[in-house]
Amino acid sequence: MYQTRQAYAPTPHSYVPNTAFSATINLDEEVKLAETRAERDLQDSLAEVFSIIITLDELEKAYLKDAIPEADYTEICDRLLKQYKAILTDEAVSREFVDLETFKNEWDMEVPRATERIRIGLPSTVTAPSINTAATSNNGTNGTLILEATQDFITFLDALKLGLLEKHQLHPLLSDVIQSVNKVTDRDFDGRGKIVQWLIALNQMKATEEISEDQARELELDMNSAYQGFKATLK
């Protein structure tokens, strides 16, 4: 009878196990990706940015397929864009992030719809409103909405006259203009496209970056033209 021999994986004769080193490894111990609180916060913030970009891309796809109501899309998209901008106001996060194209390349992200939405900085329903967004003249609230849109135009023009030229000062006011206009009418009018173009241009700027005096004059002319075009749609 042959004796049963236990098989072992062959090992080089020169190999000697280092029991001291093996004893220092705890397989139950959590692997730390960051040593300090600042490093952990940075990684968490970058992970949130990654998640926001992916979610935005999926949200845009759902909207294009009519898989989500316009009101829900607008609310979610606006919230995601605000969160994205808020996270990147941190200097450490912004420095590590560099810019959207760099971040996408580093993490091999294919998100064309999210890229365009971030570039514009506003939900699609704001830049190109549907008939469901605007109020009708029979609902009894149109007068109030017209007044709000008019006030937003005037507020923005007054800000320019007061010399408020930084992105963080102008962009919110101009966003108010386009959103209040959209509540009144879904019709295109002379100068409406200029409002959207300026919103995109401002969105590309850093928070404290200023437009030049020449740009301010051009912006004022465009906004006055848009205001007249808006009023013409009400006649």
Domains in the chain: ranges and CATH: 37-124 (1.20.1440.200), 141-234 (1.20.120.1130)
Residue 143 has pLDDT above 70, yes or no: yes
Distances 132 to 128, 187, 234 between C-alpha atoms, Å? 11, 12, 18
- pLDDT-based confidence at 131, cuts 50/70/90? low
CB-based contacts of 202, cutoff 8 Å, min separation 6: 121, 167, 170, 171, 174, 211
Mean per-residue pLDDT of the chain: 86
- Do residues 179 and 134 lie in contact, with contact meaning Cβ atoms separated by under 8 Å? no
pTM of the model: 0.74
8-state DSSP, 32: P
8-state DSSP, 3: P
pLDDT of residue 34: 66
Q: What DSSP element (H or E) covers 49? A: helix 37-64
Q: Measure the CA–CA gap between 178 and 196, rounded to whole angstroms.
A: 8
Rounded to 5°, the CA angle 82-229-126 comes to: 20
